[in-house]
């Protein structure tokens, strides 16, 4: 269960304090495909960052599997992100001078896995996202957007996370590749019992989620549950 | 791929910029090492010259024709010299002249052709049966002219120039040798004397206890006795020279000044290493210049690394954020960028060694040439304060020509030690240049990655 309770995140902007997330509370059960929708500046990406312990809330708590991630020390937050969270970004954010295979091996290296084991694991993960052969040795710049996003998903899955947080994962993709990526993420929920939280503008992506939270001005204004 | 492998790979991620930075850095690192190598060479030469320099200072009453005789130096003055800072040892010597008694014919002829016995500026005088070893005719003196024999009373087995006696046969003078003497080899040979033989001086019988090598025509062609013996038999009280040994050549000037102040203008204070020492001040300047140059070049190299890394970190801020977001620790990311810096500097160091090989000798040569004063002409004495005379002599006692002759050639070589030091410097540069970029990395918050989406 991912529980967000009374979370507030304020920033100072031009001497003025603004609440990017303003008293949000929500619950996402395990093995759920959830989406957060809203216009630009509604606070959805900030909320995702808070869930992933990439940032600390001004107030409120976030619990993942019963652990209050907001109370973790910085080093434990790193360990939390490494072992329990997988990130998928709109711009893929692959390291440009590492091959597809090396990019997937990176979090495994951070987790302290031996070189031989991490290569085998990375190859398996890339196979799961339908990437193999010569493409594994290519640099991200030599891969298509869809292929890069699949490498990104394989990287997010590397350490077997409980939760995958995806920020506009289809934002840079055409509709065909977008659908493939969403299908891939949905399959993870079923096959690996992973909780997937997707931030999106795209209604078609949101409509495929089990639960959708609509945000406006830092608040959850609507929740649509499709039978969780 | 390990952190190290990633760091090395990242160094030349942008090939053009990486190569340009390495080339500029190679020149700076090369100059840094050149300065270091030149500094070491100059410092080694400086130490070597200092080692060779004589640390003897001699004080003797000034002698000017027609001037009032200032008398001998006293035991109190010797004690004062011994009490000066940086004076390791000091001893007094009393010189004198011994002449053969006049023959009846010479008395009748009014004394005969002979050098006047002036008592060597208040020194002892007496008679002897020794015949001087000086060949007067060879020196242009009239036939038949007799030369007196120089006697030197010493507490510490020194010759008339304040140098240790080089005893080649028998032994040196010891306490209790009241009627013992060390003869110069030429004098002993002239008079057919060996260790254990006796001769007459001051109307007393002396035994030859040792034979010393003759190093200079006049000073050493003589006889050495204990100072109290010469004073007693020669009826004099005091020393006509005080010889001080200074603990370090760097203190020569200060001790010389102190002795000058102690004795006043009527006493000459001489140090034979004065001009050599002056020449080494130029070398010391080069030593400082190269050291400063080394530090400045090191700083420049660190600045280059700093700006390169700072720019890299700024450019790859998002990547830093992603690495942190997917579980990389701040320390790990800093290590990766640190390895990039080390790789950059090590490659530059390898290339820089070529620059060092080409420039180190040239830099040392130019700096030594431009900072070495033109020395005094050969044999020219330099007069210091208080009428003190500073004789110019080379480090090996040879006649000097220029300051460069005194210093000799400074050869800068890139040895294994320098190489190791170079690698250490390179690592130091990388470390210095990485400090602020590392701080920038630590400040990157992974949330910024999402915010920039």
Mutate to test the interface with B, among A9, A40, A49, A158 (most CBs of B within 10 A): A49
- Mutual angle of helices B252-263 and B274-315, in 10-degree steps: 140
Q: Is B170 helix (H, G, I), strand (E, B) or coil?
A: strand
Question: In terms of domains, do B88 and B113 share one?
Answer: yes
Give which of A72, A109, A159 to mutate to test B binding, by max B Cβ within 10 Å.
Answer: A109
CATH of the domain at A202: 3.40.50.300
Q: Which residue has the higher pLDDT, A94 or B414?
A: A94
Residues B127 and B233 in one domain: yes
Same domain as B215, residue B359 = no
> Residue B273 in contact with residue B393, Cβ under 8 Å?
yes
Range of the domain at B188: 56-271
* Domain match, B154 and B285 both: no
Using DSSP, state whether B215 is helix, strand or coil. Answer: coil
Is A107 in Cβ contact with B326 (below 8 Å)?
yes
Say if the Cβ atoms of B324 and A78 lie within 8 Å: yes
Q: How far is it, in rounded angstroms, from Cα A45 to Cα A52?
A: 11
CA gap B59, B365 in Å, rounded: 38
User: Rounded to whole angstroms, how far apart are CA atoms A58 and A46?
Assistant: 12
Where is B381: in which H helix or E strand? strand B381-383
Joined tokens for residue B34: 């050149």
> What local confidence, expressed as pLDDT, does residue B390 receive?
37
CB contact under 8 A, B450 and A48: yes
Cβ-count burial of B370 within 10 angstroms (0-12 exposed, 13-18 middle, 19+ buried)? exposed
| Distance in Å, alpha carbon of B316 to nearest chain A alpha carbon | 10
Task: Domain of residue A149: give its range.
Answer: 2-225
Q: Which residues of B fall within a CB distance of 8 Å from A107? A: 326-327
Asked if A215 and A47 count as a contact pair (C-beta separation under 8 A), the reply is yes
Same domain, B222 and B283: no
Residue of B nearest to A103 (CA): B1
pLDDT recorded at residue B163: 76
Count how many residues are written for chain B: 453
CA distance A103 to A94: 7
Nearest CA in chain A to B14: A97
Band (A151; pLDDT cuts 50, 70, 90): very high
Give whole-number Cα distances, B204 to A16, B181, B236, B238, in Å: 113, 12, 16, 21
CB contact under 8 A, B326 and A87: yes
Domain co-membership, B66 together with B45 = no
A110 closest CB neighbour out of B318, B327, B449: B327
- B283 or A106: whose pLDDT is higher? A106
The whole-chain average pLDDT of chain A stands at 90
From CA B148, how far away is CA B117, in angstroms rounded? 8
Pair B175, B240 in one domain = yes
Contact A81, A52 (CB under 8 A): yes
Question: What is the rounded CA–CA span in Å between residue B295 and residue A111?
Answer: 42
Distance CA(B241)–CA(B315), nearest Å, equals 78
- Range A186-197 average pLDDT: 90
Does residue B43 contact residue B407 with C-beta atoms inside 8 Å? no
- Residues from chain B that touch A167, judged by Cβ atoms under 8 A, are 450, 453
H helix count then E strand count, chain B: 14, 13
By Cβ distance, the residue of B10, B328, B451 closest to A110 is B328
pLDDT at B17: 84
Q: Which token pair is B20?
A: 């340009």
Between B53 and A50, residue with greater pLDDT: A50
B329 contacts A75 by C-beta, under 8 angstroms: yes
Calculate how close chain B gets to A92, using CA atoms only, in Å. Answer: 10
Determine, for residues B332 and A110 on separate chains, whether the beta-carbon distance falls below 8 Å.
Answer: yes
Counting the structural domains of chain A, the total is 1
A-chain residues near B450 (CB < 8 A): 45-46, 48-49, 54, 89, 167
Whether residues B347 and B374 fall in one domain: yes
Cβ atoms of residues B230 and B236 within 8 Å: yes
- Best mutation target, A44, A54, A86, A156, to test chain B (most B CBs within 10 A): A54
Which domain-ending residue is among B271, B295, B330? B271
A83 neighbourhood in chain B, CB within 8 Å: 327
Is the CB of A98 less than 8 angstroms away from the CB of B1? yes
Structure tokens at B194: 């060996």
Distance between CA A183 and CA A205 in Å, rounded? Answer: 10
Residues from chain B contacting residue A90 (CB–CB below 8 Å): 453
Contacts of B349 (CB under 8 A, 6+ apart): B26, B29, B33, B422, B423, B425, B426
Domain check: are B233 and B157 in the same one?
Answer: yes
Q: Is residue B109 within 8 Å of residue B140, measured between CB atoms?
A: no
Band of residue A4 on the pLDDT scale cut at 50, 70, 90: very high
Instruction: Using a CB–CB cutoff of 8 Å, tell me whether B323 touches chain A.
Output: yes
Residues whose CB is less than 8 angstroms from the CB of residue B383 and which lie 6 or more positions away in sequence, other chains included:
B389, B390
Q: What's the first-to-final CA gap in chain B, in angstroms?
A: 27
B348/B434 same-domain check: yes
Q: Tell me which chain B residue has its CA closest to the CA of residue A54.
A: B447
Does residue B2 sit at the A interface (CB-CB below 8 Å)?
Answer: yes
Answer yes or no: do B115 and B254 share one domain: yes
Which residue's structure tokens are 């997988």?
A: A86
For chain A, the three-class secondary structure string (H helix, E strand, C coil) is CEEEEEEEEEEEECCEEEEEEEEEEEEECCCCEEEEEECCCCCHHHHHHHHCCCCCCCEEEEEECCEEHHHCCHHHHHHHHHHHEEEECCCCCCCCCCCHHHHHHHHHHHCCCCHHHHHHHHHHHHHHCCCCHHHHHCCHHHCCHHHHHHHHHHHHHCCCCCEEEEECCCCCCCHHHHHHHHHHHHHHHHHHCCEEEEEECCHHHHCCCCEEEEEECCEEEEEEECCC
**Per-residue pLDDT at B199:** 94
pLDDT in the model for residue A106? 92
Mean pLDDT on A211-227: 91
Whether the CB-CB separation of B290 and B38 falls below 8 Å is answered with yes
Closest of B270, B266, B272 to residue B122, by C-alpha: B266
Give dist(CA B181, CA B212) in Å, integer. 10
Question: Looking at residues A135-146, what average pLDDT do you find?
Answer: 92
Residue B395 pLDDT: 42
CA–CA distance, B181 with B346 (Å, rounded to integer):
69
Domain count across chain B: 2
Q: Which residues of chain B have pLDDT under 50?
A: 113, 115-120, 375-403, 453
What is the torsional sign of CA B201, B204, B205, B207? negative
**Going by C-beta distance under 8 Å and a sequence separation of 6 or more, which residues neighbour residue B262?**
B77, B80, B81, B84
Asked if A200 and A37 count as a contact pair (C-beta separation under 8 A), the reply is: yes
Average pLDDT, chain B: 78
| Residue A92 confidence (pLDDT) above 60 | yes
| Residue B295 sits in the same domain as residue B212 | no
Dist. CA A127–CA A133, nearest whole Å: 9
pLDDT in tens, B142-183: 777 778 888 889 988 887 777 788 899 999 999 999 999 999
- Residues of A near B (Cβ–Cβ under 8 Å) read 45-46, 48-49, 52, 54-55, 75, 78-79, 81-83, 87, 89-91, 93, 95-98, 102, 105-107, 109-111, 115, 155-156, 159, 167-168
For residue B318, the chain A residue with the least C-alpha distance is A93
For testing contact with chain A, the best of B15, B316, B325 (most A CBs within 10 A): B325
- B338–chain A nearest CA distance, Å: 17
- The distance of A89 to chain B (nearest Cα, Å) reads 8
Please tell me if residue B326 touches chain A, with a CB cutoff of 8 Å. yes
Percent of chain A with pLDDT over 70: 99
Q: Which of B285, B430, B311, B297 has its CA nearest to residue B369?
A: B285
Q: Which pLDDT does position B100 carry in this prediction?
A: 83
- CB distance B319–A95 less than 8 Å? yes
């Amino acid at each position: 269960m991912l529980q967000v309770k009374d979370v507030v995140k304020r920033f100072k902007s031009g001497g003025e304090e603004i609440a990017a997330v303003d008293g949000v509370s929500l619950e996402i059960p395990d093995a759920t495909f959830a989406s957060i929708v809203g216009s630009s500046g509604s606070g959805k990406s900030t909320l995702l960052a808070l869930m992933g312990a990439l940032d600390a809330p001004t107030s409120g708590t976030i619990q993942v599997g019963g652990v209050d991630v907001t109370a973790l020390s910085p080093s434990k937050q790193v360990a939390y992100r490494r072992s329990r969270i997988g990130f998928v970004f709109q711009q893929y954010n692959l390291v440009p001078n590492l091959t597809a295979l090396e990019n997937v091996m990176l979090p495994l290296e951070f987790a302290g896995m031996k070189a031989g084991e991490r290569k085998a694991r990375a190859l398996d993960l890339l196979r799961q996202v339908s990437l193999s052969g010569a493409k594994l040795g290519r640099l991200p710049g030599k891969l298509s957007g869809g292929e890069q996003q699949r490498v990104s998903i394989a990287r997010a899955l590397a350490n077997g996370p409980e939760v995958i947080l995806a920020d506009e994962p289809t934002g840079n993709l055409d509709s065909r590749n977008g659908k493939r990526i969403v299908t891939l993420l949905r399959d993870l929920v079923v096959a690996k019992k992973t909780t997937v939280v997707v931030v999106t503008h795209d209604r078609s992506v949101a409509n495929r989620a089990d639960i959708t939270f609509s945000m406006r001005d830092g608040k959850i204004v609507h929740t649509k549950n499709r039978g969780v | 791929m390990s952190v190290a492998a990633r760091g090395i790979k990242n160094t030349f991620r942008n090939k053009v910029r990486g190569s340009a930075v390495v080339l500029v850095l190679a020149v700076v690192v090369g100059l840094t090492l050149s300065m270091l190598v030149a500094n070491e060479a100059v410092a080694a030469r400086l130490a070597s010259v200092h080692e060779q320099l004589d640390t003897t200072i001699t004080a003797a009453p000034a002698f000017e024709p027609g001037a009032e005789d200032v008398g001998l130096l006293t035991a109190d003055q010797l004690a004062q010299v011994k009490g000066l800072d940086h004076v390791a040892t000091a001893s007094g010597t009393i010189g004198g002249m011994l002449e053969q008694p006049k023959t009846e014919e010479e008395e009748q002829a009014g004394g005969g052709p002979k050098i006047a016995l002036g008592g060597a500026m208040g020194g002892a005088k007496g008679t002897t049966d020794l015949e001087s070893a000086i060949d007067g005719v060879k020196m242009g003196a009239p036939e038949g002219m007799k030369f007196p024999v120089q006697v030197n009373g010493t507490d510490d087995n020194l010759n008339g120039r304040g140098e240790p006696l080089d005893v080649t046969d028998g032994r040196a003078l010891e306490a209790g040798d009241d009627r013992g003497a060390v003869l110069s080899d030429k004098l002993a040979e002239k008079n057919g004397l060996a260790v254990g033989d006796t001769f007459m001086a001051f109307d007393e019988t002396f035994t030859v206890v040792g034979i010393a090598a003759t190093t200079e025509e006049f000073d050493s062609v003589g006889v050495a006795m204990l100072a109290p013996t010469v004073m007693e038999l020669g009826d004099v009280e005091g020393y006509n020279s005080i010889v001080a040994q200074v603990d370090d050549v760097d203190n020569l000037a200060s001790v010389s000044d102190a002795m000058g102040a102690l004795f006043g203008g009527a006493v000459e204070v001489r140090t034979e290493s004065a001009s050599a020492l002056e020449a080494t001040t130029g070398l010391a300047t080069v030593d400082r210049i190269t050291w400063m140059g080394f530090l400045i070049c090191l700083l420049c190299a660190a600045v280059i690394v700093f700006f390169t890394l700072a720019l890299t970190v700024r450019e790859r801020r998002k990547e830093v954020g992603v690495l942190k977001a997917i579980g990389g620790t701040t320390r790990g990311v800093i290590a990766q960028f640190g390895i990039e810096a080390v790789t950059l500097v090590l490659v530059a160091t390898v290339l820089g060694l070529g620059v060092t090989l080409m420039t180190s000798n040239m830099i040392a040569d130019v700096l030594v040439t431009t900072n070495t004063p033109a020395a005094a002409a050969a044999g020219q004495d330099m007069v210091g304060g208080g009428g003190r005379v500073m004789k110019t002599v080379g480090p090996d006692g040879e006649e000097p020509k220029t300051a460069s002759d005194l210093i000799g050639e400074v050869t800068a070589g890139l040895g294994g030690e320098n190489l190791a030091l170079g690698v250490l410097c390179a690592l130091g540069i990388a470390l210095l240049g990485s400090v602020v970029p590392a701080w920038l990395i630590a400040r990157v918050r992974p949330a910024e990655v999402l915010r920039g989406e």
